[in-house]
Amino acid sequence: MKYIDEFRDGTVAQGIAKAIRAEADPGRAYHIMEFCGGHTHAISRYGLEDLLPANVRMIHGPGCPVCVLPVGRIDAAIWLARQDGVTLCTYGDMLRVPGSKRLSLLKAKAEGCDIRMVYSTMDALKLAQSLPERQVVFFAIGFETTTPPTAVAIKQAQAMGLGNFSVFCNHVLTPSAITQILDSPEVRELGTVRLDAFIGPAHVSTIIGSRPYEYFAEEYQRPVVIAGFEPLDVMQAVRMLVRQINDGRFEVENEFARAVTRDGNEKAKSLVADMFELRRAFEWRGLGLVPYSALRLKERFAAWDAERRWDVPQDSPPDNKACECGAILRGVKKPVDCKLFGTVCTPENPMGSCMVSAEGACAAHWTYGRFRDADPGHASGPDPEGD
């Protein structure tokens, strides 16, 4: 299949790895953060870290939209689902993310709440049409990639005069998270790790383009290479970053030229700008309150905003004390550093969002056997509530 098979060629991967080993200076360390969860899964699935020299370290970033939602927003979604006459729709991953007291949307559904899994915003819209007696709320999450489909659904609801459809908006912005990691007293207090370069997200960049990353390269002196999700994409991005670091260059380079342009998708960006506005601050799991890092609907679309239609709680309960998901999202720790990983915390019994999502670092390590390098002595079954 074009653009798949040729980017999974093992012989070519070995050749790129050999070039990286030849070009990487043995006297220095290279700390490269892959921001996107899709890259994290590619690295684990294809064992790419095993091909890299020991001084080239890959660090998992907060690029999983399910993982970065704080406990309070999960609790708020459960609160909405419990309101009279409400049907809550969400993507499959969100059903199993634990909120406070380990209550999830799936458990709330078992208690009798009308919660439905959907594959798209259009599914939620069709459900609202078929259930005129119910208030259908779509639990909208994701980075810049999934924001335009939410906007399209609201536009269609407006055109159809669909008054029983609304959106619980949790769309967040990639550039703000990168800024928070690089230049935030809050994150420094929580704990940070040295970062020399970034592999920029792929799907997000198809929407926003490569231009927004130019600020980071210049202001923070960190090179960025936007890469696709196939193993050769990631390996080539690492090689490009090693070269930039060696040369003392701080540029934005686009390895994913087959899908990403400098300016991105102008139509999608225009639609989002027309319908959404920035929140002053939004809480991210592992990063704390991040200024201007999330979107909400503009006032003229208030009729389709669940947070305006209901007085949705804005609580901020703490994470499970024993779960290291926040530190993993900041790159400070790896999944195997968490005492819960692979013991009480598994995909069947997740203690944190990083083990739930298809893009979570813990799920990647578990799915592709990365946990086998963990200390077998940590499987002593600690208290999952962290008490």
Same structural domain, 223 and 106 = no
Say which residues have a Cβ less than 8 Å from residue 211's Cβ, sequence separation at least 6: 262, 263, 264
Looking at residue 49, its amino acid is E
In a domain, 331, yes or no: no
Task: Give how far Cα 57 sits from Cα of 33, 36, 375, Å.
Answer: 8, 16, 20
Q: Are residues 217 and 248 in the same domain?
A: yes
370 lies in a domain? no
Determine the 3-state secondary structure of 167 from DSSP: strand
Same domain, 96 and 219: no
Contact 146, 176 (CB under 8 A): no
Q: Are 151 and 272 in contact (CB under 8 A)?
A: yes
99 plus 186 within the same structural domain: no
Q: Residue 260: inside a domain, yes or no?
A: no
77 and 147 in a single domain? The answer is yes
Predicted structure pTM score: 0.90
For the chain, what is the domain count?
2
CATH of residue 162: 3.40.50.11740
Question: Which residue, of 208, 232, 254, is where some domain finishes?
Answer: 254
For residues 146 and 113, state if they share a domain.
Answer: yes
- Does some domain include residue 339? no
User: Among the three residues 244, 278, 309, which one is the final residue of a domain in this structure?
Assistant: 309
* Residue 254 dihedral angles phi and psi, to the nearest 5°: -115, 95
Q: Is the dihedral of CA 129, 131, 136, 139 positive or negative?
A: negative
How far apart are the C-alpha atoms of 174 and 209, rounded to whole Å? 12
Contacts of 231 (CB under 8 A, 6+ apart): 7, 8, 13, 42, 45, 46, 48
Q: Does 343 map to a domain? A: no
CB contact at 8 A, 340 and 80: no
Please give the helix or strand (H or E) that residue 171 lies within, else none.
Answer: strand 165-171
Range of the domain at 288: 67-170+266-309
pLDDT of residue 252: 97
User: What's the confidence (pLDDT) of residue 194?
Assistant: 86
CA–CA distance, 236 with 331 (Å, rounded to integer): 22
Domain final residue, candidates 254, 289, 323: 254
**Whether residue 72 sits in one domain with residue 182:** no
Residue 127 falls within a domain, yes or no? yes
Same domain, 57 and 180: yes
pLDDT at 101: 85
Let me know whether 94 and 144 are in one domain.
yes
Beta strand 281-284 with 30-34 is unpaired
pLDDT at 383: 40
Structure tokens, 360 = 């979570």
Distance CA 243, CA 221 (A): 14
Residues 6+ away with beta carbon under 8 Å from 170: 69, 73, 139, 140, 141, 142, 294
The answer to whether residue 49 is domain-embedded is yes
Q: Are residues 59 and 163 in the same domain?
A: no
What pLDDT is attached to residue 187? 67
Q: Are 148 and 295 in the same domain?
A: yes
Residue 272 and residue 143 share a domain: yes
CATH label of the domain that carries residue 227: 3.40.50.11750
Per-residue pLDDT at 186: 64
Query: Is 294 a member of any domain?
Result: yes
What pLDDT is recorded for position 387? Answer: 37
368: left (phi over 0), alpha (psi -120 to 50) or beta: alpha
Residues whose CB falls within 8 Å of the CB of residue 276, separated by 6 or more in sequence, listed in order: 147, 151, 169, 171, 295, 296, 297, 298
Q: What is the pLDDT along the chain (387 residues), one digit of tens a residue?
A: 566 778 888 899 999 999 999 999 999 999 999 989 899 999 999 999 999 999 999 999 998 999 999 999 999 999 999 999 999 999 998 999 999 988 999 999 999 999 999 999 999 999 999 999 999 999 999 999 999 999 999 999 999 999 999 999 999 999 998 888 887 666 667 766 789 999 999 999 999 999 999 998 999 999 999 999 999 999 999 999 999 999 999 999 999 999 999 999 999 999 999 999 999 999 999 899 999 999 999 999 999 999 999 999 999 898 888 999 999 998 889 999 999 998 999 988 899 999 998 789 999 999 887 555 544 444 333 344 443
C-alpha to C-alpha distance for 85 and 198, rounded to whole angstroms:
46
